[in-house]
Amino acid sequence: MDTVLRFLTCGSVDDGKSTLIGRLLYDSRALLVDTLEGIERTSRRRGATAPDLSLVTDGLIAEREQGITIDVAYRYFRSGARTFIIADAPGHEQYTRNMVTAASTAQLAVLLVDVRQGLTAQTRRHALLADLVGIPALAIAVNKMDLVDYDPAAFEAVVYAFEDFAEASGLRARRHYIPMSALLGDMVVERGEHLPWYLGPTLLEVLERTPVEDGARDEPFRFPVQWVCRPRESTDPLLHDYRGLAGQVAAGTLAVGEEIAVLPSGRRSTVTSIEVGGVPREHAVAGDSVMIRLADDLDVGRGDLLVRADESAPTLARSIEADLVWLDPAPLAPRRTYLLRHTTREVQARIEAIEWNLDVATLERVPAHELAMNDIARVRVKLAQPIAADRYEALRDTGSFLLLDPATWDTVAAGMIRGAR
């Protein structure tokens, strides 16, 4: 069975993320000849003797000019039976929002640490953000071992420091520590000859062995309605009364004949058919994009949520507690009304209270009246209309939201629901 692992690489600037991805692709023979020739050409022009593997992912003009990564680059490769989708996230604090973008869909984070620098504020921030969005596994790549003569004590110092930090901040992710030199290729794909004292898996082995759950099948059924199909102008009389609810199953399973409830209205009906492109099927499971038809002609539209009548229901909430990551250069204005986007539903929202703002360096929860870009805070949000909310750790799709600024329609914050009433 083919599996897919989405992972991101993160960590401080200059810890060698782009070089690591270049090495991973190069050593697993995933780089094509012309890409490689382009890199070799550029490296030679700049006076380097070996190909500069960081050029594989730094694709923007500004990135090459400044030698940094600004935005997430996506790369694809296969090894054995597994397809990998890599999101290379930038290290600069200024571009943290791009890191959060990559983290929100990842199943594993490769966190780079320069063995000489140890944990920086940005390493901690990325670890906290990865944990906050619920990434279940962390591979801590202790890089640049070649610059400390492959000294095991230097590696262990990073491991101890990170474990202390993980305990203090309550990190939940499984952790793997790998000493490596991305530049020279030790412990990325090949073991190399410099780290005989390290007996654990290489990075590629960790990536290949990390379990990927086919997610939310065992959870209660959740189906946000995206669009309603009403082919009224059709000349086919069979289609005259057709009303299909189009969406992607966020969690759980549904079968024809089962009873559903529509939220927030609470009205109930029975599923008469499940279709894809007009072709019927018996079931829909988490991840499937389908069209659902009901026995009764209920008033259902975009923004409504279908759940199964025999399963636990989400909370219809007018007030939520959430962890919020502020992503916009303009700070949060507490008196302003924002548009909250939850599944396919949009409601007006105001931040009623900031309960604390997390100091990334000390892990202290400090009081705050304002939030600036990259802040991680616990807030209480008041909603003009109810949303059908789950807790984020229970159900991701119905437990997450965005805040949009009504002046620009930009996405200014991302939220994870921790409580609802």
Partner 1 sequence: MIAPRTHLDRLEAEAIHILREVAGQCQNPALLFSGGKDSVCLLRLAEKAFRPGRFPFPLLHIDTGHNYPEVIAFRDRRAAELGERLIVRSVEDSIARGTVRLARPDESRNRHQSVTLREAIEEFGFDCLIGGARRDEEKARAKERVFSVRDEFGQWDPKNQRPELWRLYNAKVPAGGHVRAFPISDWTELDVWQYIAREGLELPSIYFAHPRPCVRRGGLLAPVTELTPAREGETVETPWVRFRTVGDITCTAPVESRARTIEEILRETAATTISERGATRLDDQTHEASMEQRKREGYF
Beta bridge partners of 228: 245
Which CB atom, from 184 or from 229, has the smaller least distance to partner 1? 229
Q: What is the DSSP letter of 56?
A: G
Helix (H, G, I), strand (E, B) or coil at 248: strand
Could you tell me where the beta strands, DSSP code E, fall in 313-410? 315-326, 338-342, 345-358, 365-366, 376-389, 400-404
Closest alpha carbon to 374 in 413, 338, 335? 413
Which CB atom, from 35 or from 169, has the smaller least distance to partner 1? 35
Which CB atom, from 5 or from 360, has the smaller least distance to partner 1? 5
Which CB atom, from 164 or from 214, has the smaller least distance to partner 1? 214
Closest alpha carbon to 188 in 212, 164, 204, 199? 204
Angstrom distance (rounded) from CA 332 to CA 156: 41
Please give the backbone phi and psi of residue 291, each rounded to the nearest 5 degrees, phi first. -120, 135
Q: Which strand (E) or helix (H) includes residue 292?
A: strand 289-294
Least Å distance between CB 212 and partner 1?
11
CA atoms within 13 A on the CB side of 183: 12
DSSP 350-361: EEEEEEEEE-TT
Least Å distance between CB 158 and partner 1?
30
Report, in angstroms and rounded to the nearest whole number, the Rg of the chain calculated over CA atoms.
24
Least Å distance between CB 195 and partner 1?
31
The residue type found at 398 is: T
Q: Which residues bind partner 1 (CB under 8 A)?
A: 1-2, 4, 32-35, 38, 42, 57, 59-62, 64, 70-76, 83, 85, 97-98, 100-101, 104-105, 214, 226-227, 229-231, 233-234, 239, 242, 244, 246-248, 253, 276-278, 283, 285, 287-289, 302, 327, 341, 343-344, 396-397, 400-402, 404, 408-411, 414
Scan for tokens 């303009």, then name that residue: 330
Which CB atom, from 72 or from 195, has the smaller least distance to partner 1? 72
Least Å distance between CB 209 and partner 1?
19
The residue type found at 263 is: L
Which CB atom, from 57 or from 120, has the smaller least distance to partner 1? 57
Least Å distance between CB 409 and partner 1?
4
Least Å distance between CB 303 and partner 1?
9
Which CB atom, from 25 or from 142, has the smaller least distance to partner 1? 25
Least Å distance between CB 360 and partner 1?
18
Which CB atom, from 92 or from 350, has the smaller least distance to partner 1? 92
Which CB atom, from 42 or from 169, has the smaller least distance to partner 1? 42
Scan for tokens 């094509």, then name that residue: 32
Note whether 153 and 197 are within 8 A (CB). Answer: no
Note whether 63 and 69 are within 8 A (CB). Answer: yes
Least Å distance between CB 287 and partner 1?
6
Q: Which strand (E) or helix (H) includes residue 20?
A: helix 17-27
Least Å distance between CB 126 and partner 1?
15
Q: ω into residue 331 within 30 of 0, thus cis?
A: no
Angstrom distance (rounded) from CA 190 to CA 184: 10
